[in-house]
């Protein structure tokens, strides 16, 4: 059996499925007030949302592209289509989804995963959700899981308006403003007080159209004493033109509530992934982020946790794998506002074949956040002499009554460890793959099972024949 030897040789066939474009509607390339107003009309927005979009566009035009991270030179908004509606309507019945779209999601494991272990699934294709379903027993608990457009105009409209882009504001940065102007699709979740959703909800985002952007908005409110695990998956086929993902995630964690938010991003290597994610946590609440970044040409992703209430807690667990032609700039931000708050950031990054992996962290402890504790641990592994890994931590501590720690390690595979495994009869490429898998183990065990298996398979494929 022929060994795979390069990143490009990895079997991405399940992700590189390309359907013939049968969109029923799309706007022109570029970004103008006319295009934004056109999107708003197509979405049948309430008047306040149309105004919000146009105001966001004004902010976007006034802001500069960030110059402190990876180069975004290859991203030209004049050639990005910001809204593509597939030739279907959203359905709660899988049988009603068009065959070619259904086939794509079936091959990606949706809704197979739903039938096995999920309480509900939302599937987005290009700019619109095509399928959304929640189990009857979960809905009977009062849990709301629906698409953003329905929530925006239905019985939860006032709740959406109260929370929409209040955590992530359009003036936060240029691509937050872009999102505010052209957002489409995404999920709305509300978990009532005291309700524990014992099996996860999942949304899957698939971008099929070349030269297009995807701008879904996810809004989750977990009320007092409630508990939820939400899983997000993303993928796209590879094209020779730039695609853009600039979604937004806003998470509200109530008093003594818990939310675990798991994300696996496996975009193709022509994707600019400029996502923004933020959570606010009330007294005694817990936010847990689990993040895996394996795809895209450029990623800028730094989920933020605002520990507003006393005794609130945040954990961020992340892994990135940067291969040839990839620049993955990822990390996390924590803001301690309440007393006796605690946070832990734990990341692993792997770079290979010239890949560039950068970890950024920001820990802010306000002057009133006394007795707070924060720890940051980032470890980076380079698999050759021409890949790159950087660690850029930032800490802003405004009170002496806090316990703060930071640990960073960057290195290569130990040749002594490789030699030891080879002396026990293990082939060299398998020995290196075992070491990489062990390096990532503390993070991968936090991933949902099917994604942990996928990640370990990816590492095995990446490593096969990579020596020399």
Residue 366 domain-assigned?
Answer: no
Q: How many CB atoms lie within 10 A of CB 415?
A: 8
Same domain, 423 and 294: no
Residue 360 domain-assigned?
Answer: no
- List, for the chain, all residue ranges whose pLDDT scores fall below the cut of 50: 1-23, 465-468
Q: Cα 157 from chain centroid?
A: 25
> Residue 383 and residue 370: Cα distance in Å, rounded?
42
Q: Which stretches of 3-71 are DSSP H helices? A: 33-43, 47-62
CB 85 within 8 A of CB 126: yes
Same domain, 295 and 419: no
Instruction: Tell me which of 270, 285, 301 is where a domain ends.
Output: 301
Same domain, 296 and 419: no
Residue 393 domain-assigned?
Answer: no
Dmax over Cα atoms in the chain, in whole Å? 71
Instruction: Tell me which of 284, 301, 318 is where a domain ends.
Output: 301
> Residue 15 and residue 267: Cα distance in Å, rounded?
8
Same domain, 72 and 203: yes
The sign one gets for the Cα dihedral 137, 143, 149, 152 is positive
Predicted pLDDT at 453: 61
Task: Indicate the number of domains in the chain.
Answer: 2
Residue 208 domain-assigned?
Answer: yes
Residue 121 domain-assigned?
Answer: yes
> Residue 238 and residue 246: Cα distance in Å, rounded?
18
Instruction: Tell me which of 266, 301, 336 is where a domain ends.
Output: 301
Predicted pLDDT at 23: 46
Residue 437 domain-assigned?
Answer: yes
Q: What is the β-pairing status of strands 128-134 and 120-125? A: antiparallel
Give pTM, 2 decimals.
0.86
Same domain, 291 and 421: no
DSSP class of residue 9 equals G
Residue 173 domain-assigned?
Answer: yes
Residue 463 domain-assigned?
Answer: yes
Domain that holds residue 235: 25-301
Predicted pLDDT at 416: 78
Predicted pLDDT at 14: 46
> Residue 331 and residue 58: Cα distance in Å, rounded?
29
Same domain, 230 and 103: yes
Residue 77 to residues 82, 168, 171, 408: CA-CA distances in angstroms? 9, 21, 18, 37
361-406 residue pLDDT tens: 999 999 999 999 999 998 888 888 888 889 899 999 999 999 999 8
Secondary-structure breakdown of the chain: helix, strand, coil percentages, each rounded to the nearest 5: 25, 35, 40
């Amino acid at each position: 059996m022929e060994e795979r030897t390069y990143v490009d040789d990895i079997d991405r066939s399940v992700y590189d499925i390309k359907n013939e474009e049968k969109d029923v509607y799309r706007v022109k390339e570029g970004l103008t007030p006319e295009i934004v107003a056109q999107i708003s009309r197509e979405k049948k927005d309430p008047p306040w949302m149309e105004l919000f979009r146009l105001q966001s566009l004004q902010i976007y035009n006034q802001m500069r592209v960030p110059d402190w991270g990876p180069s975004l030179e290859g991203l030209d908004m004049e050639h990005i289509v910001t809204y593509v509606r597939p030739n279907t309507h959203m359905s709660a019945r899988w049988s009603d989804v068009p065959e070619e779209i259904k086939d794509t999601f079936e091959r990606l494991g949706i809704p197979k995963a739903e039938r096995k272990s999920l309480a509900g699934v939302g599937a987005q294709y290009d700019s619109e959700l095509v399928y959304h379903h929640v189990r009857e027993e979960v809905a009977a608990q009062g849990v709301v899981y629906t698409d953003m457009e329905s929530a925006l105009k239905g019985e939860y409209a006032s709740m959406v308006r109260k929370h929409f882009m209040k955590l992530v504001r359009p003036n936060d940065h240029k691509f937050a403003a872009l999102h505010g102007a052209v957002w489409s699709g995404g999920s709305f979740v509300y978990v009532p007080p005291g309700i524990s959703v014992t099996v996860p909800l999942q949304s899957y985002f698939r971008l099929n159209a070349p030269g297009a952007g995807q701008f879904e908005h996810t809004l989750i409110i977990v009320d007092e004493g409630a508990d939820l695990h939400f899983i997000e998956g993303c993928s796209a086929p590879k094209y020779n033109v730039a695609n853009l993902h600039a979604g937004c995630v806003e998470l509200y964690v109530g008093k003594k509530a818990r939310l675990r938010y798991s994300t696996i991003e496996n975009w193709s290597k022509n994707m600019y992934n400029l996502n923004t994610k933020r959570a606010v946590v009330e007294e005694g609440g817990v936010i847990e982020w689990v993040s895996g970044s394996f795809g895209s040409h450029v990623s800028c992703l730094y989920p933020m946790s605002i520990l507003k209430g006393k005794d609130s807690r945040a954990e961020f667990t992340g892994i990135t794998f940067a291969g040839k032609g990839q620049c993955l700039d990822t990390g996390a931000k924590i803001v301690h506002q309440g007393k006796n708050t605690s946070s832990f950031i734990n990341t692993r990054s792997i770079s290979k074949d010239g890949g560039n992996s950068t970890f950024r962290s920001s820990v802010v402890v306000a002057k009133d956040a006394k007795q707070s504790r924060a720890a940051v641990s980032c470890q980076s592994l380079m698999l050759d002499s021409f890949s790159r890994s950087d660690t850029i931590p930032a800490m802003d501590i405004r009170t002496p009554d806090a316990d703060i720690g930071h640990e960073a390690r960057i290195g290569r595979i130990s040749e002594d460890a490789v030699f030891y495994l080879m002396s026990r009869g293990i082939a060299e490429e398998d020995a290196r793959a075992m070491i990489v898998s062990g390096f990532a183990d503390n993070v991968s065990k936090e991933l949902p099972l099917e994604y942990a298996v996928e990640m370990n398979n990816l590492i095995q494929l990446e490593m096969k024949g990579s020596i020399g």
